[in-house]
Amino acid sequence: MKPAPFEYHRPTTVAEAADLLADRDHAELLAGNQSLGIVMANRLATPDHLIDLNAVEDLDYVEERADGDAVAVGAMTTHRTIERSGLLAERLPMLPEAAEQIAGPSVRNRGTLGGSVGEADPAGNYPAALLALDATLELVSADGEREVPVSDYFIAYMFTDLGEDEIIAAARVPTEPFPPDRTGMAFLELKPAAQTWPTVSAASAIRVDDPDATKPVVEEARLALANAADVPLRVEECETAIEGEPLSEETLAAVAEAATAAADPADEMHADREFKCEVAGEYARRSLAASYDRATNGETDTDQL
């Protein structure tokens, strides 16, 4: 099949894109075109207007904000740019690790952060990673700007707080909770093949009190799961289970149990609900163990945890 007829627009500024979206009914935004084009080709979406954001250079960046307590990633930043960003590797390594596990090179060269977050698939890498990092989305429209915490953005399966006339401009991630010298982050996923969605993914971050101590204490932990519910799933029970003491076999066992109990996934052709719940528990445990190992400079024998 071929897409239904539509009018094509290619703005070069955010303001122009916002005005186009506000002034035209039945319009869709085009980001990396890794999903929308397929949907349109099958006539599952038939917009009258297609607004292509690929020429809006102001949405393509990775930068530290002026106050120094956050890093922002523009919505049109590609997976490949995120994967190779030195700033993110230093400050928020969970994001490059999540990016490098998305599909194959052709998808990573074209797909964007904003497109992934806008699609809001609960199996997506960025939604879980940004949820674990307490990120905030910066949204723009012809009427102005607003901010939405990622924790409030995802409402139901592929349904979000994004208004019909709004554009995702950037994701802003606070860096203060996780200083690089005593923080570890990990993004682990299980998936049947490179080009498929993961069965379950786990995004985690851990800050310890003293990485050189014999048994570093976990001061703060974060964990979010992808494809374990109808929205990205933050599992605070897992976080509290390990905070305030060194990571141990006992606390990781509690993590696995809590993640398994919290998961509420749908059955899939290659993985039923029971299996996915078990994987959620196991990958929550593995991800937090990896984050702790990285926070302690690899000097803690997490293979024994």
Please classify residue 249 by burial: count the beta carbons closer than 10 Å to its beta carbon, then call 0-12 exposed, 13-18 middle and 19+ buried: exposed
Domain boundary among 133, 152, 174: 174
The strand order across the sheet containing 144-149 reads 62-64, 70-74, 167-174, 136-141, 144-149
State the pLDDT at residue 68: 85
Residue 227 sits in the same domain as residue 287:
yes
d(CA 35, CA 29): 12
Decide if 22 contacts 65 (C-beta within 8 A).
Answer: no
**Residue among 135, 154, 136, 155 at smallest CA distance from 146:** 136
State the pLDDT at residue 44: 74
CA dihedral for 49, 57, 92, 286, sign (positive or negative): positive
Tell which phi-psi region holds residue 78, choosing left (phi > 0), alpha (psi between -120 and 50) or beta: beta
State the pLDDT at residue 34: 63
**Residue among 206, 161, 199 at smallest CA distance from 296:** 206
**Residue among 80, 108, 96, 128 at smallest CA distance from 227:** 128
Residue 31 sits in the same domain as residue 97:
no
Residue 169 sits in the same domain as residue 186:
no
- Beta strand residue intervals within the chain, DSSP E: 7-9, 27-30, 49-52, 62-64, 70-74, 136-141, 144-149, 154-156, 159-160, 167-174, 183-190, 200-208, 218-226, 233-234
Q: Which residues contact 135 (CB under 8 A, 6 or more apart)?
A: 149, 150, 171, 172, 173, 174
d(CA 81, CA 28): 24
- 271 in any annotated domain: yes
Decide if 168 contacts 151 (C-beta within 8 A).
Answer: no
d(CA 80, CA 112): 9
Specify the pTM.
0.94
Q: Which two tokens stand for residue 188?
A: 């682990």
State the pLDDT at residue 299: 60
State the pLDDT at residue 106: 87
Residue 88 sits in the same domain as residue 164:
yes
**Residue among 135, 108, 131, 112 at smallest CA distance from 29:** 112
pLDDT in tens, the chain (305 residues): 688 899 999 999 999 999 999 999 999 999 976 677 778 878 878 899 999 999 999 999 999 998 889 999 999 999 999 999 999 999 999 999 999 999 999 899 999 999 999 999 999 999 999 999 999 999 999 999 999 999 999 999 989 999 999 999 999 999 999 999 999 999 999 998 877 889 999 999 999 999 999 999 999 999 999 999 999 999 999 999 999 999 999 999 999 999 999 999 999 988 999 999 999 999 999 999 999 999 998 765 555 55
State the pLDDT at residue 90: 97
- 12 in any annotated domain: yes
Domain boundary among 114, 140, 174: 174
Q: Maximum CA pair distance of the chain?
A: 65
CATH number for the domain that contains residue 19 = 3.30.43.10
Q: How many structural domains compose the chain?
A: 3
Domain that holds residue 213: 180-298
Residue 61 sits in the same domain as residue 168:
yes
- 80 in any annotated domain: yes
State the pLDDT at residue 305: 59
CA dihedral for 276, 277, 279, 284, sign (positive or negative): positive
CATH number for the domain that contains residue 205 = 3.30.390.50
State the pLDDT at residue 1: 67
Decide if 90 contacts 71 (C-beta within 8 A).
Answer: no
Could you tell me which residues are beta bridge partners of residue 200? 190
